[in-house]
Each structure stands twice: as structure tokens, then as C-alpha cells.
Structure 1
Amino acid sequence: MKRRVLNIGVSGLNATDNPGPGVAVIRSIRESGEFGGIITGLAYNPLDPGAHMRGICDNVFLMPYPSQGAENLLERIRAIHSMLPLDVIIPTLDSELSLYLKIDRELASMGIHTYLPEEEMFNLRSKARFHGLRDMGVNVPKGKPVSDASAVYGLEKEYTFPVMVKGQFYEAFIAYSPMEAVSLFFRLSSKWGLPVVIQEFIPGTEYDVVALGDGKGGLVGAVPMKKMQLTDQGKAWGGITIADDGMNEFVRSVMGKLKWRGPCEFEVMKARHSGEYYLIEVNPRFPAWCYLAVGAGQNLAWAAVRLALGEEVPPFSTYQVGTLFLRHSVEHIYPLSQYRHLTTEGQLVRIVDEEGTKRRHGKA
């Protein structure tokens, strides 16, 4: 099989106990059997483990933090592209996706392909507007954004405790009383800003689904899993693919209504008493555990690359049930020069050409 020579940029290289998806996306691409190019890591911190791990990134460039805006991001990408032309970029962090949506046309004019959701749907799936998906026929818990602590005290009139209290970008906690909800309101608003989101608590079994939509309501692929090990932050440290025909049909139905374009993670709750399925969250990018999909027979990351390039990708029809993933921590040893290059020059270039010869380049 002829391998595709591409330069693919991937972000989210942090690989701590709350890992970014970048390393898993890169591993998936490299194991596609069709990729023969280079991976350019787009890092926000010179200590991101994915920037240094052997066999992950060929080149790494430090990027401006999302808080610095879309223009700074575009300027940095232009500099990188002038040095090492990029074919595809897969952004993997929630905080940067809105910026990539703003510069998507400029990237396309440069010959850089992406596969991103429509901006309206991206905004609608945000925690603050999530309850509006009910109007599209999607079964979601009752919820509301709250910007004033005084409104939290009146929640008992609308909700039965416990309730979920969620930051507008990250983190979610169960509140068992109005007093606890107020405490969480201040904690989350100080960290992530306003509004804080109150959501009906649905007791039951939670499943996570990595999915890839074609933007027309079709499901290119989806793999559901149940978490088996959790970190202190509630992140999956181990999980297993499961068989649930009802949930798989629910996922197909949701994708058909959202017409989502690109990768995403659906968090689904199966109610304990009724067996009803609820969509409780949509994360607009690959999850950090997406490498499990490769093990289960669906390389969704490589499919996303092909879709970004405008290719037809037939939908995956099956996945391997009972495929398990477990994370572990291991120490890697690196020379100080790698870290120094990233901190002082903002880049670590280890590009190798088709003959296997290292080439020198200027600074981006």
C-alpha cells in the first residue's frame, strides 16, 4: 500500500493525569498503515510530554496561548507553514477550537486543511446553551446558565437535589444542597468565568462515545466505552468498549439531528430506572482516549485526516466489543538541549526527508 506523504499538525500534547488528546491522535495516525509523512506538534508548554516522546512528533513548535486571540494564532501558523508547509491541522483542545473556526478560511487559502464543526453548532453544544438542544429533539437533561449567586438559592423551586454544577468550559460537580451549589458556583466562576451551568442530575450509568460526523447527519464511525478506572479529576484511566444497541441507535439519532462535522465525544447517561438515554455533554474534539477506537477497529483520527483532504470515507460498520485500555505512567529521559531549544527558540525541528537525511531549516 502506498503511504501518504503529509505534514500533519496536531495540538494537545500534554500527557499528564489529565491528558490532552494529541498523543492519542498522533499514535492513531501513525498506525493507520497509510501515513508516511511527518507529524508537527503544536505545543503550548515546553514541558508537554508529547513534545518529547520518541516516535510521536517529528517537529514541535510552541504556540501562543488561546487567550492571545485568533490573529496571533494565524501569524504563528503562517510562520510555521513558510518553514515546513502543513497539509492538515487537527486541533484537539476545547479552548483553541473557536480560534480555528475564525481562521479556517485563511488556513484553506494557504492550502491547510481542517475538519471542523459549523460555528453555530459548536456554540450550541456549549454548556451554557446545551439545554437548547431539546428544541432539536435531542434528549438532554433540564439545565440553565446562572450568572448570579442569588439565583442559585432559588433552585429548589425548579430542581430536585442533587444537581450538577458545571463550569462553562471545564469541571463538573454534584451539589446535594443549595448551600453546596452556591459554594461550587463561586469556585467554578472564579476559575472559568460566568455563566455557571446548573443541570438536572440523572442517576444511572455513564458511557462515553468517540464519534466522527460527516456534517450532513451521517455517522462515519463511533466507539462507545465505559470507564473502569478514574483519576481524582474523574478522567478515564482505563475503559472498555461495550455493546449496547439502544445506545448506539441513540448516538446515530443524535448525530442525525446535530449534523455534526468532525470528531467529538458524546457523554451519554443511561437512566437507572427508566433505561432512557440522555446526552449530557458534547466535547467538540477527539477525547484523550481515542486510541481505543483504533484497538477496536475504527481509526477515526486517520479518517478525519482523509475527510479534511476532501476524500470519501466509507462509514465504519462494526467495532470490537470488549477491547480494554489502561493508562500508565512511565519516566522518559531526555537531554536538556531539547527543552532548551523549545524554551529559547520556540521550536524543536527533527525533520527527516524521504532519504532519511536530516535537513536544516531557519527559525519559525
Structure 2
Amino acid sequence: MTANNYSGLCIGVTGLNANDNPGPGVAVIRALKEGLGAGLRIIGLSYESLEPGIYMHDMVDKTYSIPYPTEGTAALFERLTYINDKEQLNFIIPNFDAELHNFIKLAPQLQQIGIRTFLPSIEQLMLRDKVNLYDFGQKNGFHVPTDHKLYAADDVQKATEELGFPVVVKGKFYEAYIAHNKEAVIKAFNQLAATWGYPVIAQQYIKGTEINIAALGDGDGNNNSIVPMRKLYITDKGKAWAGVTIEDAALIALADKFAKATNWRGGYELEIMRDADDKLFILEINPRFPAWIYLTAAAGQNQPLALVKMALGEKLNRFEEYQAGKLFIRHSWDQVVDIADFQRISALGEL
């Protein structure tokens, strides 16, 4: 397939969940369909039988279950080889933090069977890990809140003495809670440790305006696309349920500084807090597209489409403009399906 011929592409996409902590998969697919047209074939890759994207047949042509990340690379490669034999995948876009390590490790093997990816290296992935984020900020001149790694409930006392209240308590991969007393910290610690493992991160609370930046690094220290968004409505898990694109040179410069410091390859999201002194604190760096990624396409910079084109070897000029004032509002929708479909994906792993 040539770099400029995208007809008949078959792309696998993970992250088809759409609960109160939605995955990016459906938004990625929406952007790809808008950019690549009717000839595109989308293969859903799911972990759970109740991921709504499985049943969105206007978005996903066929879905296959894949093993949980904890089952390792061998099990994942075996399953992807089976899927590829049936579907002839050209490309896979993983959209969960926890699965990226396996996909990155498998990238050379996937390339050998004709499946391309466009992902950061393991080293890049670890640089921005929550456990390493503060040290990364200190080394590269970014403002990052002070944090403590919690491995046991006994660590809470020292962390709260230094960080004070309120304090943000974060899971290793997902979820964050603002705790206003020690008991709330311990409760969040126990819940997050049970769900995501250790360490749990206690992070200094920064008061200010929450901003997210979706960007696409080319792997050579540059960004192909940068779109900042200010959160307008936030869930109790800290997720944006509504947001608006904004124009701000300081935010663009911050994303460019990150790309230069890491040579990031692929999509990523910077979660920012702007305090009363206009200082930009990096709260998290997510190593994949955010759930609101369709907003980049709506604003004029279709990042999932650009990712696919870059992976296929096309040299793209950097997007220089996007529409500020584009607003997204997430909403709930009851996806009504036949129980036979649920039973089929649960029993056979295919739908």
C-alpha cells in the first residue's frame, strides 16, 4: 500500500468503553471515518463484553476480544495473528495506558505480519509515567506538583504532612480523587490500589483552571498537531464532560517543549493546571489520544487521521491553525442491542 493510497484500509482500535471514564476508541474511530471515508474497515479490539463500541455497527465492522494486558505479549501476539489472518489489518491504534507496554514491545513483530503502529518507545513511555513525572519535570524545566508514592496505608501520614490538604490521590493508570482529610486519603488509596495496583500517587493539589492539550509527536522532537482545550464540566473522576478549544501561545510552546525533550512518537495528552500566577503545572502526561480527541478533527486538525498517514510514510506539514471556540458536550446514550450479540462476543470472542 502506498503512502497516498488509503482506500480499503483495515484498522484495529481498542478503547471501546464509554462509561463515566470513557476510552478514546469510539472518538478515534469517528475521526478516522470522517477523514478516510466509506472504504475504511474498523476492527474493534475489546477486553470486556459490555464495551458499547462493540455494538455500534455503524462505527465498528467487526469486534474481537483480546487478552488482558496482564496475560503478556505472547498471548496478545497469538490473538492478533489470528485476527490478522482473518482481517488483514493494516494498522492498530491502542488507546489504553495499561496495554501500551505490550503493543510497543510487539511493534516489530506486528510490522513483520503487515500491521503498522505509531507508538512511543518504552523509554519514552516510562519518562512520563506518574511515578517518574516529578523527576522528569525537575530535569527538563517543567512545573510539576510535588508527589509521594504510596505503597502502604502507613505512607499516608508522611505524604499528607508534607503535601497538606486537599491532596489529589491517583491510581497508577487511571482515576483520581481529591481528598480533604486523612481518612479520605486512606479510602482512596485502598480503592485505587485494589483496582490498579501499586504505587498509588499522592500529589500536591494545585488550584486553578484545568486545561488539556492533545498533540501528535513525529518522533523527531516536533509536533505535527497541537490543540488545547479548557475543561468546562468535570466528573467526580476528574474527566472532562464538556470543553472548548482555546487559543494560547503558551500552551502551544509547552507542548513543543515536551516533544523536544522526549522526541515523542505518537499521540499524547498533557493535563495542565494554570494557577493564579499564570504558571502552567503538568498534572499528568497521558501517552495516547484522549477521549475527547474527536474535538481536534472538529476544530480542523484531525489527529487520528494524521497519525495513520504518518505511520504509512507520508510526510505531513505541521498543522498551524485550528478553530478556537469549538465546544464538545459529552452525553449518555442507551445502546439497545440483542442479548444474542452479547452472548456471542462473550462466548466466542467475536462479533
Tell me the TM-score normalised to structure 1 length: 0.90
1:351 aligned partner: none
Alignment of 1:316-331 (within 5 A): 316-331=319-334
2:33 aligned partner: 30
Aligned partner (choices 41, 63, 77) of residue 60 of structure 1: 63
Encode CA deviations 1:260-287: one digit per residue, 9 max, x unaligned: 1101111011112x11111110111111
The amino acid across from 1:38 in the alignment is R
Give SS of 1:333's match.
Answer: coil
Q: Does 1:175 align with 2:169?
A: no
CA contact (8 A) 1:208 1:224 kept: yes
Aligned length in residues: 347
Encode CA deviations 1:206-238: one digit per residue, 9 max, x unaligned: 101111111111011011111222334332221
Give SS of 1:340's match.
Answer: helix
CA shift at 1:149, angstroms? 2.8
**Distance of 1:110 and 1:207 partners within structure 2:** 40
**Distance of 1:172 and 1:32 partners within structure 2:** 34
**Distance of 1:82 and 1:330 partners within structure 2:** 34
CA contact (8 A) 2:146 2:204 kept: yes
**Distance of 1:66 and 1:213 partners within structure 2:** 25
CA shift at 1:163, angstroms? 2.4
The amino acid across from 2:116 in the alignment is H
The amino acid across from 1:230 in the alignment is I
The amino acid across from 1:188 in the alignment is L
Tell me the TM-score normalised to structure 2 length: 0.93
Give SS of 2:26's match.
Answer: helix
Aligned residues: CA RMSD: 1.9
1:266 aligned partner: 270
The amino acid across from 1:150 in the alignment is D
Aligned partner (choices 86, 108, 112) of residue 89 of structure 2: 86
Aligned partner (choices 75, 80, 86) of residue 78 of structure 2: 75
- Check 1:248–1:135 CA distance in 2 against 1; reply closer, same or farther (3 A cut): same
**Distance of 2:6 and 2:113 partners within structure 1:** 24
Give SS of 2:35's match.
Answer: coil
CA contact (8 A) 2:160 2:167 kept: no
1:362 aligned partner: none
Encode CA deviations 1:2-29: one digit per residue, 9 max, x unaligned: 7522110001111223221111000100
- Percent of aligned pairs sharing the same letter: 41
CA contact (8 A) 1:3 1:35 kept: no
CA contact (8 A) 2:28 2:304 kept: yes
CA shift at 1:38, angstroms? 0.7
**Distance of 2:47 and 2:161 partners within structure 1:** 44
CA shift at 1:178, angstroms? 4.1
Aligned partner (choices 190, 197, 214) of residue 194 of structure 2: 190
- Structure 2, unpaired ranges of 5+: none
Aligned partner (choices 8, 12, 15) of residue 11 of structure 2: 8
Q: Which moved more, 1:277-286 or 1:188-197?
A: 188-197
2:212 aligned partner: 208
Encode CA deviations 1:136-165: one digit per residue, 9 max, x unaligned: 222212223232332321235533433222
Aligned partner (choices 303, 309, 313) of residue 312 of structure 2: 309
The amino acid across from 1:40 in the alignment is I
Give SS of 1:343's match.
Answer: helix
CA shift at 1:317, angstroms? 0.5
Encode CA deviations 1:286-319: one digit per residue, 9 max, x unaligned: 1111001111001000111111222212111011
- Check 1:328–1:101 CA distance in 2 against 1; reply closer, same or farther (3 A cut): same
**Distance of 1:182 and 1:283 partners within structure 2:** 25
CA contact (8 A) 1:2 1:34 kept: no
CA contact (8 A) 1:6 1:35 kept: no
1:46 aligned partner: 49
